[in-house]
Amino acid sequence: MEGPGHRERFLMEKPVYLDYHATTPLDPRVLEAMLPFFGRRFGNAASRSHRYGWEAEKAVEQARRQVAELAGATAREIVFTSGATESDNLALKGAMEAYRSRGNHIVTMATEHKAVLDTVRRLERMGARATVLPPEPDGLLDLGRLRGAIQPDTVLVSVMYANNEIGVIQPVCEIGAICREKGVLFHSDAAQALGKVAVDAAACQADLMSFSAHKMCGPKGVGALYVRRHPPVRLAPQIDGGGHEWGMRSGTLNVPAIVGFGEACALCAAEMAAEAARVGGLRDRLKARLEAELPGVYVNGSMTRRLPGNLNMSFRGVDGEALLLSLPDVALSTGSACTSATVEPSFVLAALGVGRDLAHSTLRFGLGRFTTEEEVEYAARRVIESVRKLRVLAPV
Ligand SMILES: *Cc1c(COP(=O)(O)O)cnc(C)c1O
């Protein structure tokens, strides 16, 4: 089986992939672990009467332990889902419904992923009240502001672990302590954090936590929701059926994907510390190169509380879309979410108070397990050339 070391043996592939926040390559070792479950080991993990079922169930339970181990949970607290979007939906809708007698108020942040924000909007349409807290200019949540927002009828606080645009890591353990003290539930979307930084759901007193395999070199279409057992968290299921996953999420388990998710977690557990140091070093080098060669560049979000593989940078006087178009050999994204008709600047940057012009001049770099020094050097060179050229040819 090949480790990350195999990357040196290939020529640099184009376009260079620097969009690890959108998704990550499947680690070949994860693929290897999954393959038998597409073939001979095809059983349904819920079949109790024969070896095919037992084998599948055994593999699922091993994966459950592997996910739990990395997340600071016990296996019984891991509910497999189709990904972090579904986990966020189940956490928010499931808790608001189950605890309706306690109240109908939810607290979240303006920089959350759409899987949380759109779910909150839906809950509001169904009668809930929501408080959406702004971040500080560095992207972090002010804890005093959080305390002030929690009211007698607050059921749930949902604050993400690490942001998918600016990589900023929230003070999750401090938030957990405040929520416990106030007697409200705490959910955190940890899709970008698990496998990149040390996550400990139990120690941070989270009640619910969302994970996604494809953000950590695992397969797409699988994730999990951590649901605390001590003290127990009740959830109203959002998918009813055969009663799988302790009745919280019915449907035949996607065994190959779950096995891959488990293997991805085991690899992160073994390699995360070294990988974070290596990837963080590459990111710092990319940042230093761009800052040394280009005037008018600004990093968005805290540099001290940040994912090692994230760099979100604005380039004054350059249109971000034009910059991307001039970089066909580098797979990147802008900070902006593009809708079909208009290009709106990123709502995350807007929440940080970044002006429209600068927000429109932003690139998000996402580095990860298979990113090489050579790729970073190449990307830096191409970005520097393009920014210089566009500043002369098409000044904004
Ligand atoms: C990618 C992502 C999601 C969605 O995860 P899926 O598994 O693709 O549904 C949710 N939240 C955050 C922070 C993400 O980065």
Report the DSSP beta bridge partners of residue 311: 365
Report the distance separating Cα 216 and Cα 203, nearest Å.
Answer: 22
Contact 323, 315 (CB under 8 A): yes
Q: Is the CB of 196 under 6 A from ligand 1?
A: no
276-289 pLDDT, tens digit each? 999 999 999 999 99
Confidence of residue 335 (pLDDT cuts 50, 70, 90): low
Ligand 1 centre and the CA of 169: distance in Å?
15
Report the DSSP beta bridge partners of residue 331: 17
Report the distance separating Cα 56 and Cα 61, nearest Å.
Answer: 9
Residues 6+ apart with CB under 8 A from 392: none
Ligand 1 centre and the CA of 191: distance in Å?
6
How do strand 78-81 and strand 223-227 relate by DSSP bridges?
A: antiparallel
The pLDDT > 90 percentage for the chain reads 92
Contact 62, 53 (CB under 8 A): no
Q: What is the maximum alpha-carbon separation in the chain?
A: 72
Please choose from 112, 160, 192 the residue to mutate so as to test ligand 1's pocket, defined by most ligand atoms within 8 A of CB. Answer: 192
**pLDDT of amino acid 338:** 53
Phi, psi (rounded to 5 degrees) for 376: -65, -40
Of 204, 265, 268, 338, the active-site residue reads 338
> For the chain, how big is the Rg over CA atoms in Å?
22
Determine the atom of ligand 1 nearest the C-alpha atom of 214. 7
Active site residue 265: no
**pLDDT of amino acid 339:** 47
**pLDDT of amino acid 17:** 97
For 290-343, the DSSP string reads HHHH-SSEEE-S-SSSB-TTEEEEEETT--HHHHHHT-TTEE-EESSEEPSS-E
Contact 331, 19 (CB under 8 A): yes
Domains of the chain: 16-27+272-393 (3.90.1150.10), 28-266 (3.40.640.10)
pTM score, whole prediction:
0.96
User: Atom 10 of ligand 1 has which residue's CA nearest to it?
Assistant: 84
Ligand 1 centre and the CA of 189: distance in Å?
8
Mean pLDDT of the 109-121 span? 98
Residues 6+ apart with CB under 8 A from 335: 165, 166, 300, 312, 314, 320, 345, 346, 348, 349, 359, 362, 363, 364
Give whole-number Cα distances, 192 to 77, 86, 300, 317, 352, in Å.
20, 15, 17, 30, 19
